[in-house]
Structures are given as C-alpha cells and as structure tokens.
Structure 1
C-alpha cells in the first residue's frame, strides 16, 4: 500500500499541467496534514513536477527533459527580471531559444521572430500581437502593461506575456548573462546523469541475511551493498569485510556499517569523486533528500563521467577557462601568464583568487602530462610575497616533490618581473580505476 507521501505525489502528477495547487488544497483533498502536504510539494518541486512562481503561486509543470538543460524556460526568465506574469501561464515551462529586441518596424521584426523566442518590447500593442501570432512570447519593459486583448491572446496561444520595470538594455544584459550561466552549468556534470538507478542495481534490506549477501555477491561486480529499512530509507552499507566469519543465518542489520557515506543526485561528479578518492570508496549510495535510496554510483561511473566531460567542447567561459587559456607553456618545466585587467582588483594588482586559480591550473597541467590520469586538488597553501601588477608577465615553475599511487604534492613558485612573487604547496589526489 502506498504511503501518504507517495499518494500525494501521485495526486500531483494527476493534476493538469498549468493548474495551481497549494498545501491547503492537497491537505483537504487527501485528508492529510498540511505538514505532510508541504513536504510532498517540496519533493515534487525537486523532481520537476511543480514550480513556485513569484506573485503567481505553485504551478503544476511538465518535467523538464534532460536535453533541454542548456536552455532557459520562460518561468526562469520571469524570476531573473523580477517581472510579473500578465498572461499565458501555461507556456511558462517552454524553453527560450533566443531573444529579440523590438527596436524596429513590424515588417522588419518578422524575419527575426521564431517559435519560442522572446520579443523584448515597449508599449506597442500591434507589435505585441504580431509577436504572439508568430510564436514568440512577449516581455514589456518600462513597467507598461498589456491590454486585455493581448492577455486573452496569450492565454489562447499559451505564450507568456510578462512585464518588468527595467529598461530594455538592462533586461537584455540580464538575460544574456543568464544564458551564459546556463551553458556553463550544462558543462558541470551531476551525479543524476551518471548513477545507476535502483531498478538496475542490487541492495539489501535489514531483515536479509548474510546468505542473501553471498548470493548477491555472485551476481555483481562490486562487494558493497546499500542496506535499506522502512520505506526504502538508507540505514547502512555492508561489505565483504563485515561478513567475514559470520553464519549464513545472521541478519544484515547485525553486521552492517551504520551511517555510511552517501551522495544525492544533485551533487557534482567532481565533489563525489573527491570523497571517493579520500575515503577509498568503491561504491556510494545515492539518496533523495528524505534519505530514500535512489541507486548507487561506482568509481567506474565517476571515471567514465570525468573522461567524457574532458572530451566535450566548452560552450560557456568561466574565469577558470579564461585563466587556463591564458597560461602558455614556456618549456617542459615552466609556464607563462600575462596579467590582464579582468584579473586585477580595484588597486591594479592581481586578485588573490585569480592567483590561486593560476597555481591550481599549473598543477593540473604538470600532473596531467606526467600521469595521464584524472586528479582533484585537495589543498592549496599559497603565500603572496610581492605585489603583482597589471600587465606583468608571470613565470610559473611547478615541481613535484612527493608522489604516490593515490596522491601527489607540488611546490609551485610564481616569478614576476621583480623576482619571486608567490609560493605555494599544492596537494592533489589522483583518481584511478580500481
């Protein structure tokens, strides 16, 4: 029999897309407490069933498909511009392909308008209607509002009409920045896209026995299994070491390790890789925010993810990308870096954060050439000895002074035009297949 929590989630899924819902509505419809209804709504929001829109409320939405992660939806645009929705709420989950600034004649607009584009325009009713009729949502700047005829048309076509108090240039800059940020986020691989789902893996229950573990071990490639209790909540993990010398009839809950390391599906692959390297873990359970077991992620999954990520083209530039592109190899032992205006603070000297990133990138370059393996920077001890000014050319000299199978330590010296400017000790963990 489904729990109250699961019943509420099923009820939310049955609500038509675009309808509003509330804690009070769910509590009354299913005869549950408002606290139970609130927790279920939060999980539904995390899984993409609903969203909360300012000044509108909680709306049932269509779950986003993974291939559209690089695009912004109109509801996200509404939040970015701190706007107000005037009509077309059923189209809020549609993705934005491009935006157009309507500072042109209506005849000229037609060549730029495409489906699911966004027309940024002022108080021009005929241009607003033209945009909607050709498949574009409308954003009205300057605090103007739309006529009721335009609102009715937007509801009919399920294309949002929004208004904001910002001017057109500010809105365009905000959306452009958001689109770039979204492209960068696309490159950050999350556990959700690499872990093995529950239906495709094995786990044990607290009332299973050591014999059940041995049977599972014959059919699996690893020796660590999550252990779940009531309602599939993670309560422990059992390994080969735990069952050594135990009788087949002994219950798993008697031998399992309690409070195991775990991850959620919205954590980054890099952060989980760091934990698995540091603790020497072969497998980690993946859980929901309510500690319900969703699946497992293995060291092999992490390796494949990190290797495929390195082969993907970059679509959005971060500060780290700009620094990485600016570091040039002088010879096999040294690297060069020129300090540009974006890398400085208000005093015209290099930002301490940028200097830390230069040191980190040089460690990556040095070790990746020697080891041909993935690595994670564990610790950086950086000492800024002399000021590095705008326009200076830096010479970075990384030296590996200690290396083992799982870690490496580097001494990195940064020389500016006036001599030694900074010195750092960098500790890295090396990721390898087990």
Structure 2
C-alpha cells in the first residue's frame, strides 16, 4: 500500500501518511506534523458502491474503515472493492446478456427514460462501460419502438461518441430524436445525460420489423 492510517492512543483515526509526505523530512520528525488530516475514511456501514465512487472521485486507492467511535478497525483497498463487486452480482446469470441486464434497469419516469448505474453495469474502474452504453442505447430504441410503433427493431449501424465517464450509483437519462422514418427503417439520434451533462451521443440506423 502507498497510504497508511495513523491512530492516536485511543486507536482513533488521526490522519494518513504517504511516501510523499515523508520524502526529504528529518528522520526524527514526528508523523503528526507531516500527516494528512483530516483523513478521508468510511464506516463499517458504508456500501461497497459508495467506496468505489469515493475512490474514483478522490483518486485514492485505500480507505481507512472506522467504527462508531472513529476507532480504526481496518482498511479497504481498490482491489477489495473490485473483488466484492465481481462477487456480488457482476457475473450475469446463465444465458443472460449485457442487454438483458440493462433492460432490467430501464425505467420510464415522467415520460423520461432513466437508467440507474448499478455495480453490474460498470467496468473494473467503477464507471459505466462502453459496451453497456451501447446496450442502453439499443434497449432504449427497442423499448420506444415497441411502445409507440408496435414494431420490433433490428439495429443496422450505431456510431457512438463518448463525452465523459459516468460514475457508479449515478442515473443516466436517455433522450432521442427521430431524424427520419420510413415504412421499414428509422434513423435516430440518441443523447445520454448524467447530472444534466451530456455523456454520450449516438447516431443509429435500424430496420423496423413486423411481429
């Protein structure tokens, strides 16, 4: 590890020390003078998803874990978080595709298409993966066409441009515009938003098929 928690005499978290903090310092220098404080930490009740988000947001790879009285009880590393996310539901059920997983998380709320980004939809870095972004767009188009046109959809081409990453536990809103539509085809533009910021844009050509 590159970060080490420091505790006081009551075993309460006092700060953190890294190699950068002690480089060039006198060998007799006390740690409390050079440590980072207050230390970013989590509690035993903190979820794995929240730890992943905090690590990504703060750019850190290790978090001290404290009890109710701020006493240090352990540490959790990025490797611990990723391992837990893989164990808890990351692997799809037998025969289940990425699109199947995405379809479960699509929600229509106030006429808006919303997708909650859960651990199952993220990559090893805790952000929305590119393959899932494509699946969200595909499933959105299929859902829209089934609802409004009573037709099945076959995606012929999909060109996507990624603008920024989406963090775990975020919500993605999907907007679409029908650019052109014929009897057997449709051309759409789809934009994905998170926290009111565009995160991806896509241009899609698809065939419309009767049931």
TM-score tier (shorter)? 0.5 to 0.7
Pairs within 5 Å for 1:179-194: none
The residue aligned with 2:40 is 261
Runs of 5+ unmatched residues, structure 1: 1-221, 315-320, 328-336, 338-342, 344-349, 378-387, 429-434
Pairs within 5 Å for 1:101-250: 222-250=1-29
C-alpha root-mean-square deviation of aligned residues, in Å? Answer: 4.3
Q: Does structure 1 conserve the Cα–Cα contact (< 8 Å) formed by 2:112 and 2:173?
A: no
Measured against aligned partners, the alpha-carbon deviations of 1:47-70 in whole angstroms (never above 9, x if no partner) come to: xxxxxxxxxxxxxxxxxxxxxxxx
Aligned CA distance change for structure 1 residues 353 and 266 (closer, same or farther; 3 Å): farther
Q: Does structure 2 conserve the Cα–Cα contact (< 8 Å) formed by 1:264 and 1:288?
A: yes
1:414 corresponds, among 176, 181, 187, to: 176
What's the CA shift for 1:311? 2.5
1:375 corresponds, among 119, 126, 131, to: 126
1:311 corresponds, among 82, 91, 96, to: 91
2-structure distance, mates of 1:228, 1:322:
47
Q: Does structure 2 conserve the Cα–Cα contact (< 8 Å) formed by 1:413 and 1:420?
A: no
What's the CA shift for 1:296? 0.3
Runs of 5+ unmatched residues, structure 2: 129-143, 201-211
Q: Does structure 2 conserve the Cα–Cα contact (< 8 Å) formed by 1:224 and 1:283?
A: yes
What's the CA shift for 1:352? 3.9
2-structure distance, mates of 1:261, 1:306:
21
Q: What SS does the aligned partner of 1:281 have?
A: coil
Q: Kindly indicate whether residue 114 of structure 2 is the aligned counterpart of residue 356 of structure 1.
A: yes
Q: Kindly indicate whether residue 82 of structure 2 is the aligned counterpart of residue 324 of structure 1.
A: no
1-structure distance, mates of 2:145, 2:69:
50
Q: What SS does the aligned partner of 2:81 have?
A: helix
Q: How many residues align?
A: 159
Pairs within 5 Å for 1:16-55: none
TM-score normalised by structure 1 residue count: 0.30
What's the CA shift for 1:375? 3.0
Q: Does structure 1 conserve the Cα–Cα contact (< 8 Å) formed by 2:174 and 2:192?
A: yes
Higher share in strand: 2
Measured against aligned partners, the alpha-carbon deviations of 1:308-354 in whole angstroms (never above 9, x if no partner) come to: 2213759xxxxxx9872469xxxxxxxxx8xxxxx5xxxxxx42497
Measured against aligned partners, the alpha-carbon deviations of 1:213-236 in whole angstroms (never above 9, x if no partner) come to: xxxxxxxxx121111113111110
Q: Does structure 1 conserve the Cα–Cα contact (< 8 Å) formed by 2:56 and 2:126?
A: no
The residue aligned with 1:30 is none
2-structure distance, mates of 1:238, 1:398:
46
Higher share in helix: 1
What's the CA shift for 1:415? 4.9
Using CA pairs under 8 Å that are at least 6 residues apart, name the structure with larger relative contact order, 1 or 2.
2
Q: Does structure 1 conserve the Cα–Cα contact (< 8 Å) formed by 2:14 and 2:38?
A: yes
TM-score normalised by structure 2 residue count: 0.58
Q: Kindly indicate whether residue 54 of structure 2 is the aligned counterpart of residue 292 of structure 1.
A: no
